[in-house]
């Protein structure tokens, strides 16, 4: 099986990454506490890159890094590749400078955000409407950054494969070190199925690494995406927050060591995964409490449960329990109560938008 071979031949972040799975940038989810929960399941001898939620290049220059929930990081974190929204040179330059000072080892540019504000002000997926300007945004970022620059994009504004290929070639020429493709068009938001065939087609047409993303739910899906698309790595969003031990499962299959905090085999049955969800959720809660006030932490915890409950047999019940909590203690009691009974986690669910 050729898995991982291409990936190691064309490493992202020159030597800094040896593992073909990474977490996706997600507003409200890819914060310091969720990164800690996911990182805990990284095989001890594996390294990958770690995103942030999308950060505004207009706001960053005025902010003190670490003073907002989105820019909080742990001392121990490495491999951070924060994501920026932007389309103007000066704010991008100032943001990149700040992010590098903060520990960024790469910068990712968002060309996928489909909200109406992004479309109106020409950032996010709107940049996909003008391939020359999008390439210019990459050039301006590369000029400011002493670190690799990547782009996370969608299939575009409409289904037009020829245009998508011209578009990514433009990004490659402009100096992008790799791209991540989430193959849905802008107006699909997160509805419908991601079209993995486009990842293969793009992968065949450019030389820089291509990270595939979209609808990966479990271990089989990770390897199916690698095999079907030939992509260099897989980025997982919702499912990696729901089952962070997916990293351990992938590592096990590729011959990596278990994560430092664990021994034995990765959870794999519905019952083992259900139990591990409870443990991961308790760990997440302790990280949220370490970093955030109850109001901020509870908001994030409820959002995490809402986005991941679909994989749990009685997830809706867990959500109603955590919705009633008035303190961190209530939240952990709700978890202990729910997970005192055996819970089952399914390999697949209807993905929530």
Ligand X SMILES: Cc1cc2nc3c(=O)[nH]c(=O)nc-3n(C[C@H](O)[C@H](O)[C@H](O)COP(=O)(O)O)c2cc1C
CA pair distance 232, 77, nearest whole angstrom: 23
Q: Give the total of residues touching ligand X (CB under 6 A).
A: 23
Q: Given the complex with ligand X, which of 190 and 275 has the nearer CB atom?
A: 190
Among the listed residues 12, 13, 17, 29, the single contact to ligand X using CB under 6 A: 29
CB of 142 to ligand X, least distance (A): 19
Window 44-73: residues binding ligand X (CB under 6 A): 53-54
The verdict on 26 binding ligand X (CB under 6 A) reads: yes
Per-residue tokens: 141: 């970022």
Q: What are the φ and ψ backbone dihedral angles of 108, each rounded to 5 degrees?
A: -110, 135
CB of 28 or CB of 170, closer to ligand X: 28
Tell me phi and psi for residue 155, to 5 degrees.
-70, -15
Shortest distance, position 39 Cβ to ligand X, whole Å: 17
- Residue in the shown chain whose Cβ atom is closest to ligand X: 237
Among 40, 93, 238, 243, binds ligand X (CB under 6 A): 238
Buried/exposed code over 112-135 (b: 16+ C-beta within 10 A; e: otherwise): bbbeeebbeeebbbbbbbebeebb
DSSP character string of 288-322: HHHHS-HHHHHHHHHHHHHHHGGGBTTHHHHHHHH
Which residue from 10, 11, 16, 28 is in contact with ligand X, where contact means CB under 6 A? 28
Per-residue x/- mask for ligand X, residues 93 to 132, rule CB under 6 A? -----------------x-xx-------------------
Q: Tell which one of 48, 71, 213, 218 touches ligand X (CB under 6 A).
A: 213
Q: Which stretch binds ligand X (CB under 6 A): 2-10, 211-219, 244-252, 335-343?
A: 211-219
Residues 133-152 that bind ligand X (CB under 6 A): 152
For residue 240, give every residue at least 6 positions away whose Cβ sits within 8 Å of its Cβ, in sequence order, or none.
21, 23, 24, 38, 246, 247
231 is catalytic: no
Q: Near ligand X by CB under 6 A, which window of 26-34, 158-166, 278-286, 319-327?
A: 26-34
Q: Which of 216, 233, 250, 318 binds ligand X (CB under 6 A)?
A: 216
Question: What separation in angstroms does the CA of 258 have from each of 35, 110, 245, 266?
Answer: 18, 33, 10, 8
Residue pair 166/139 in contact by the 8 Å Cβ criterion: no
Give Cα 10 distance to the centre of its chain: 20
Span interacting with ligand X, options 18-26, 33-41, 258-266, 323-331, rule CB under 6 A? 18-26
Find the shortest distance in angstroms from Cβ 105 to ligand X. Answer: 18
Stretch binding ligand X (CB under 6 A), from 64-72, 212-220, 276-284, 327-335: 212-220
Q: How many CB atoms lie within 10 A of CB 170?
A: 17
Burial degree of 146 (CB within 10 A; 0-12, 13-18, 19+): exposed
Contact between 273 and ligand X by CB under 6 A: the answer reads: no
Taking CB under 6 A as the criterion, which residues in 152-191 touch ligand X? 152, 182, 190
C-alpha closest to that of 141 among 98, 88, 105: 88
Instruction: Using the CB atoms, write b or e for 298-315: b if 16+ within 10 Å.
Output: bebbebbbbbbbbbbeeb
83 contributes a contact to ligand X by CB under 6 A: yes
Looking from the CA of 230 toward its CB, the CA atoms found within 13 Å total 12
Closest to 247 measured CA to CA, from 62, 34, 47: 47
Catalytic residue among 46, 60, 96, 113: 113
* Residue of 4, 20, 25, 148 interacting with ligand X (CB under 6 A): 25
Tokens, residue 256 = 């990596």
Active site residues: 113
Residues that bind ligand X (CB under 6 A): 24-29, 53-54, 83, 110, 112-113, 152, 182, 190, 213-216, 236-239
């Amino acid at each position: 099986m050729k898995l991982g071979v291409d990936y190691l031949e064309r490493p992202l972040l020159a030597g800094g990454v040896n593992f073909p799975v990474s977490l996706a940038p997600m507003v409200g989810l890819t914060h310091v506490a969720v990164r800690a929960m996911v990182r805990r399941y990284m095989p001890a001898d594996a390294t990958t890159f770690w995103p942030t939620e999308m950060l505004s290049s207009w706001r960053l220059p005025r902010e003190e890094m670490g003073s907002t929930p989105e820019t909080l990081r742990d001392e121990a974190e490495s491999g951070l590749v924060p994501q920026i929204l932007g389309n103007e040179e000066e704010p991008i330059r100032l943001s990149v400078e700040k992010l590098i000072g903060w520990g960024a080892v790469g910068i990712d540019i968002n060309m996928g955000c489909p909200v109406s504000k992004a479309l109106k002000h020409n950032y996010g997926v709107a940049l996909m409407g003008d391939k020359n300007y999008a390439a210019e945004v990459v050039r301006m970022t590369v000029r400011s950054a002493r670190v690799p620059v990547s782009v996370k994009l969608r299939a575009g504004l409409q289904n037009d494969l020829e245009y998508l290929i011209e578009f990514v070639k433009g990004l490659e020429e402009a100096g992008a070190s790799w791209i991540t493709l989430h193959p849905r068009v802008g107006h699909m938001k997160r509805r419908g199925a991601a079209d993995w065939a486009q990842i293969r087609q793009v992968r065949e047409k450019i030389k820089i690494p291509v990270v595939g993303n979209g609808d990966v739910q479990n271990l089989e899906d990770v390897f199916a995406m690698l095999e079907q698309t030939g992509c260099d790595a897989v980025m997982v969003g919702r499912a990696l927050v729901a089952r962070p031990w997916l990293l351990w499962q992938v590592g096990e299959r590729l011959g990596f060591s278990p994560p430092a905090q664990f021994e034995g085999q990765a959870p794999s049955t519905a019952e083992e995964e259900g139990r591990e969800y409870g443990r991961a959720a308790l760990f997440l809660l302790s990280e949220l409490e370490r970093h955030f006030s109850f109001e901020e932490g509870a908001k994030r915890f409820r959002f995490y449960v809402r986005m991941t409950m679909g994989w749990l047999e009685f997830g809706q019940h867990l959500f109603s329990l955590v919705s009633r909590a008035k303190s961190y203690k209530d939240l952990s009691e709700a978890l202990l109560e729910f997970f005192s009974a055996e819970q089952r986690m399914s390999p697949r669910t209807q993905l929530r938008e």
